[in-house]
A and B are shown apart, each in its own frame.
Chain A
């Protein structure tokens, strides 16, 4: 907490409480103690006082208690030699300021002096209940992203208009207040000078001609919280929490800040509303009462930007970011159609306008995390020739460089997000995308280019999709597309180094290195007693969800099908049995499954839904296991095909000796490690043997049997038990001499 701010806020609070006391004393004389105080059309009395303190103010004399209370919560200003945390005192002073301002404004209404007017323009004053409800609903359902209380005056009239237009475009309701001390015109005047239409309909509401009138914004927030939060007036704690987590408001202080503004800002911080100033003041950066920083100073002329308009834009962006406001993009702004219907579209050679990657081409995608201040949101750049000048029939080299910053972004999400590029780009009409990393391959249809589609439109697609689907973890995206061969070739090497490093990091992510596994219950709609427990060394049995995918999914949607499963006490290291996992599984399978081991096929193995990529089954005659993949239609030594095996174990059953699995689990170090791991593998679908040749070989070497893969039978060698056993015996498969499995 800044001592400077604390001192100014406390001084402001002391002054405004005194001002309220004086105003009250005067009002007790005239219009007198029994004079009614009524704000227009509201059932909430003086709403901030009523909402926070549960005290109903109906007449002048009811204010005495409020003023007395304010005096008890305003501390003296800190002494010069005192350096203690002042947060509590400052926050209390902030609340006292709000109450005192409401007292003063309430007296104003009682005397018929509100709403204020200036030069023939009448300010809005207090907000009635009808409007509160309409806006309140919009705040709850997200049509309105939040509100901005703007105090003071902008650098000039044009900047004032730009700030308000930017806020409007982002769905923010704007309240304006100013003070005669602001030096003549304040923001309302600036907007009126420029002919901006102000009012409820345009979400731009001038509250009054003094800083005190900012209280009407607080009164609105307080009432909306009571109305939509379902708690009673006087429940200050819930009211403040409701505003912090659900009402995305902030204060924007333009121009010089006097004591009263500091004190009012301290009041706003109680609600979780941060304060952004366009002048040089101390920052209060630690998070706590507000979601992120409490006070952010952004001296206007120091904001990077080519001109004042750009600076105004940056200032608003900062406000949105500091308050943690997430914006949705309803339509992807590109010249071709966008939708799921185009995902499977193929662009044929005859229609081809441009092609990147594929055979003898060069195209890669590299997404990485950046610091919040390192990148500029929505900056999309092309360096090199565009689609319309690409010579027909040649390949365009391309690098797609995406940088992402976000308060909740983690380096582990880079891969998860990068893999979405494929799915996102495919949704555009006339764009075909395959592969990922440095094997990506893009084809663009003639008609798309004719309609005006250009390379930066790929960026627009990615921008909209990332923001909409991953808004919970992404705040800023910057993209650069490179199409000059030399640059692309050079960057490709850098990217490959990153891919390698990422591979190593993923390989280093082991079950032992984490405390949490993740669940996947997406299949419970048809397999109610099935839960996938997904650990770093075992992918979900459908192959679609890795531990990292689940982690990201949980960040994005905390109520979704992927929940954290704390491991808890270890019951058996060998079998991979943890108390936390057992409890989770039991609670989420209608208590049908009591125990669950992660590394054993024979003792309480994982259940199987119906989506597994492969099925594993014990083969007692070979003292080992077989794995058959979904795309292998042949018979297996168990006497059953994949489909027949699924018939036995699908639907959420726990079948010792049989289990569904994802393909990549076969080469994992934790592949049925309790039963002896990959050395138990005696039969494997031929297509898996080919597809995972390298990984399987590496796994075989790791367990010290480098020729293991040649000893494993497959469907081309034998599909029956006798033939398989003969083969295994001839090759001397290690499983034959291991301990019995049963």
Chain B
């Protein structure tokens, strides 16, 4: 007996968002008109893209992750090159050294790092500040100017601090990342606020936040899914592509850090940590992520294979 697959009809569509240009490789994300990868419901859209995290200084990674990258972690341009070899569609550069509690570097250093990374690779860039409002604004203003015309993404715009980043993004033609802490109302509201400052709707990507597997992935899943459902039902302020930091979230958790034998049932650390990252990322894809940020080379390989199968 033939099984009839129930098909939902959606009126809304996620906006397409273009990274790069101006001599840089272009990467387009978004465009979905169905829940993720339900090809029988609508036109296939751009596949989920994978960005790889790099830092502007050697990050406090656990040994397994650090050794997977090797010496390149000491040099952001080398690190970026290696990330592209491994398959990064986009590089996600974190200006960790600008944090007041680390090296407290400023605009000059940030500009220099971004210039180096931009000339080392030809894929688009995401640049994230250290997460301290004042410093974010200082370094991202400089970064924005130096990358003018190459359409990178700048983050994070947050509820309490979005105007400066939004302003330079408009002025220099970049993408603004709107980040909210696991709250659908705030996610939508921040999209409204950022666009109200003047950022075009096709230059916003939203980071509704997620937790790693076992650390709130169900919240992240639910927020992604509801944003996506609202978007497909026609809410234009939710029709914005989603970025999820599956990698960084995973590597904060003890399952990715605790040594072997504590407890013994947890098995091999390397294997465990990479699978943890992969499963977190798969949950993000299933709930609507358009762009994943990953950390471990092996996890990137696995998740790209999964995306390949989903898109086939």
Select from chain A the residue with minimum beta-carbon distance to B197.
A140
Select from chain A the residue with minimum beta-carbon distance to B223.
A525
Is A227 close to B, CB under 8 A?
yes
The 8 Å CB contact of B141, one of A137, A229, A590, is A137
The 8 Å CB contact of A525, one of B145, B185, B233, is B185
Is there an interface contact between A227 and B171, defined as CB atoms closer than 8 Å?
yes
List 5 A-B pairs, Cβ < 8 Å: A140-B198, A141-B164, A230-B198, A525-B186, A559-B189
Is there an interface contact between A228 and B170, defined as CB atoms closer than 8 Å?
yes
Is A171 close to B, CB under 8 A?
no
Is B106 close to A, CB under 8 A?
no
Q: B170 — which chain A residues lie within 8 A by C-beta?
A: 227-230
Is there an interface contact between B171 and A528, defined as CB atoms closer than 8 Å?
no
Is there an interface contact between A560 and B189, defined as CB atoms closer than 8 Å?
yes
Q: B58 — which chain A residues lie within 8 A by C-beta?
A: none
Is B111 close to A, CB under 8 A?
no
Interface centre among B163, B170, B171, by most chain A C-beta atoms within 10 angstroms, is: B171
Is there an interface contact between B229 and A140, defined as CB atoms closer than 8 Å?
no
Is A136 close to B, CB under 8 A?
yes
Select from chain B the residue with minimum beta-carbon distance to A559.
B192
* Known contacts A524-B185, A561-B185, A591-B233; A137/B196 CB under 8 A: no
Chain B residues near A (Cβ < 8 Å)? 137, 141, 145, 163-164, 166-168, 170-171, 183-186, 189, 192-193, 196-200, 226, 229-230, 233
Is A59 close to B, CB under 8 A?
no
Is there an interface contact between A590 and B230, defined as CB atoms closer than 8 Å?
yes
The 8 Å CB contact of B193, one of A137, A559, A561, is A559
Is there an interface contact between A140 and B189, defined as CB atoms closer than 8 Å?
no
Is A299 close to B, CB under 8 A?
no
The 8 Å CB contact of B184, one of A137, A143, A227, A524, is A524
Q: B184 — which chain A residues lie within 8 A by C-beta?
A: 524-525, 528
Is there an interface contact between B167 and A137, defined as CB atoms closer than 8 Å?
yes
Q: B164 — which chain A residues lie within 8 A by C-beta?
A: 137, 140-141, 143
Q: Give complex CA distance A133, B145 in Å.
A: 10
Select from chain A the residue with minimum beta-carbon distance to B183.
A525
Q: A590 — which chain B residues lie within 8 A by C-beta?
A: 226, 229-230, 233
Q: Give complex CA distance A227, B144 in Å.
A: 13
Is A522 close to B, CB under 8 A?
yes
Is there an interface contact between A140 and B163, defined as CB atoms closer than 8 Å?
yes
Q: Give complex CA distance A137, B166 in Å.
A: 9
What is the minimal beta-carbon distance from B141 to any residue of chain A, in angstroms? 6
Is there an interface contact between A140 and B185, defined as CB atoms closer than 8 Å?
no
Mask for A488-527, Cβ within 8 A of B = 1, else 0?
A: 0000000000000000000000000000000001101100
Q: A435 — which chain B residues lie within 8 A by C-beta?
A: none
What is the minimal beta-carbon distance from B235 to any residue of chain A, in angstroms? 8
Is A142 close to B, CB under 8 A?
yes
What is the minimal beta-carbon distance from A451 to any residue of chain B, in angstroms? 29
Interface residues of A in 585-606 (CB under 8 A from B): 590-591
What is the minimal beta-carbon distance from B62 to any residue of chain A, in angstroms? 33
Q: B229 — which chain A residues lie within 8 A by C-beta?
A: 590
Is there an interface contact between B167 and A228, defined as CB atoms closer than 8 Å?
yes
Mask for A209-252, Cβ within 8 A of B = 1, else 0?
A: 00000000000000000011110000000000000000000000
> Which 10 interchain pairs have the tightest Cβ spacing?
A141-B163, A140-B167, A141-B164, A137-B167, A227-B171, A525-B183, A559-B192, A230-B198, A230-B170, A228-B170
What is the minimal beta-carbon distance from B111 to any residue of chain A, in angstroms? 14
Q: Give complex CA distance A143, B163 in Å.
A: 10
* Known contacts A141-B164, A142-B163, A559-B192; A229/B198 CB under 8 A: yes
Select from chain B the residue with minimum beta-carbon distance to A591.
B233
Select from chain A the residue with minimum beta-carbon distance to B184.
A525
> Contact size class for A?
20 to 34
With A228-B171, A590-B230 known, 18 other A-B pairs at CB within 8 A are A136-B167, A140-B163, A140-B164, A140-B166, A140-B167, A141-B164, A227-B170, A228-B170, A230-B198, A230-B200, A521-B185, A522-B185, A525-B183, A525-B186, A528-B226, A559-B192, A561-B185, A591-B233
Q: B192 — which chain A residues lie within 8 A by C-beta?
A: 559
Q: Give complex CA distance A243, B219 in Å.
A: 42
Q: A230 — which chain B residues lie within 8 A by C-beta?
A: 170, 198-200
Q: A136 — which chain B residues lie within 8 A by C-beta?
A: 167, 171
Q: Give complex CA distance A509, B145 in Å.
A: 55
Q: Give complex CA distance A591, B235 in Å.
A: 11
Q: Give complex CA distance A525, B222 in Å.
A: 10
What is the minimal beta-carbon distance from B22 to any residue of chain A, in angstroms? 16
What is the minimal beta-carbon distance from A493 to any residue of chain B, in angstroms? 45
Interface residues of A in 140-156 (CB under 8 A from B): 140-143
Interface centre among B137, B141, B170, B183, by most chain A C-beta atoms within 10 angstroms, is: B170
Mask for A414-432, Cβ within 8 A of B = 1, else 0?
A: 0000000000000000000
What is the minimal beta-carbon distance from A119 to any residue of chain B, in angstroms? 37
Interface centre among A141, A229, A522, A559, by most chain B C-beta atoms within 10 angstroms, is: A141
What is the minimal beta-carbon distance from A591 to any residue of chain B, in angstroms? 6
What is the minimal beta-carbon distance from A159 to any residue of chain B, in angstroms? 34
Q: B186 — which chain A residues lie within 8 A by C-beta?
A: 525
* Known contacts A228-B198, A229-B198, A559-B196; A141/B137 CB under 8 A: yes
The 8 Å CB contact of A137, one of B168, B183, B200, is B168
Q: A141 — which chain B residues lie within 8 A by C-beta?
A: 137, 163-164, 167
What is the minimal beta-carbon distance from A526 to any residue of chain B, in angstroms? 9
Mask for A534-571, Cβ within 8 A of B = 1, else 0?
A: 00000000000000000000000001110000000000
Q: B230 — which chain A residues lie within 8 A by C-beta?
A: 590
Select from chain A the residue with minimum beta-carbon distance to B141.
A137
Q: Give complex CA distance A229, B198 in Å.
A: 6
What is the minimal beta-carbon distance from A52 to any residue of chain B, in angstroms? 19
What is the minimal beta-carbon distance from B239 to any residue of chain A, in angstroms? 14
Q: Give complex CA distance A715, B163 in Å.
A: 55
Q: A137 — which chain B residues lie within 8 A by C-beta?
A: 141, 164, 167-168, 171
Q: Give complex CA distance A140, B171 in Å.
A: 11
Q: Give complex CA distance A528, B184 in Å.
A: 9
Q: B163 — which chain A residues lie within 8 A by C-beta?
A: 140-142
What is the minimal beta-carbon distance from B171 to any residue of chain A, in angstroms? 5
Q: Give complex CA distance A522, B170 in Å.
A: 30
Q: Give complex CA distance A230, B171 in Å.
A: 7
What is the minimal beta-carbon distance from B206 to any residue of chain A, in angstroms? 15
What is the minimal beta-carbon distance from B194 to any residue of chain A, in angstroms? 11
Q: Give complex CA distance A300, B258 in Å.
A: 73
Interface residues of A in 118-135 (CB under 8 A from B): 133
Q: A521 — which chain B residues lie within 8 A by C-beta?
A: 185
Q: Give complex CA distance A285, B11 in Å.
A: 48
What is the minimal beta-carbon distance from A337 to any residue of chain B, in angstroms? 21
Q: Give complex CA distance A141, B230 in Å.
A: 30
What is the minimal beta-carbon distance from A636 to any residue of chain B, in angstroms? 32
Q: Give complex CA distance A521, B226 in Å.
A: 15
Q: Give complex CA distance A48, B226 in Å.
A: 46
Q: A133 — which chain B residues lie within 8 A by C-beta?
A: 145, 171
Q: Give complex CA distance A114, B267 in Å.
A: 76
Q: Give complex CA distance A560, B186 in Å.
A: 9
Q: Give complex CA distance A540, B45 in Å.
A: 42
Mask for A279-299, Cβ within 8 A of B = 1, else 0?
A: 000000000000000000000
What is the minimal beta-carbon distance from A531 to any residue of chain B, in angstroms? 12
Q: A561 — which chain B residues lie within 8 A by C-beta?
A: 185
Select from chain A the residue with minimum beta-carbon distance to B173.
A230
Q: Give complex CA distance A230, B201 in Å.
A: 12
Q: Give complex CA distance A326, B199 in Å.
A: 23
Q: Give complex CA distance A590, B228 in Å.
A: 11
Q: B197 — which chain A residues lie within 8 A by C-beta?
A: 140
What is the minimal beta-carbon distance from A340 to any residue of chain B, in angstroms? 15
Q: Give complex CA distance A140, B229 in Å.
A: 33
Q: Give complex CA distance A229, B47 in Å.
A: 32
Q: Give complex CA distance A227, B148 in Å.
A: 12
Q: Give complex CA distance A353, B161 in Å.
A: 41
Q: A227 — which chain B residues lie within 8 A by C-beta?
A: 170-171
Q: B171 — which chain A residues lie within 8 A by C-beta?
A: 133, 136-137, 227-228
Select from chain A the residue with minimum beta-carbon distance to B161.
A141
What is the minimal beta-carbon distance from A242 to any residue of chain B, in angstroms? 8
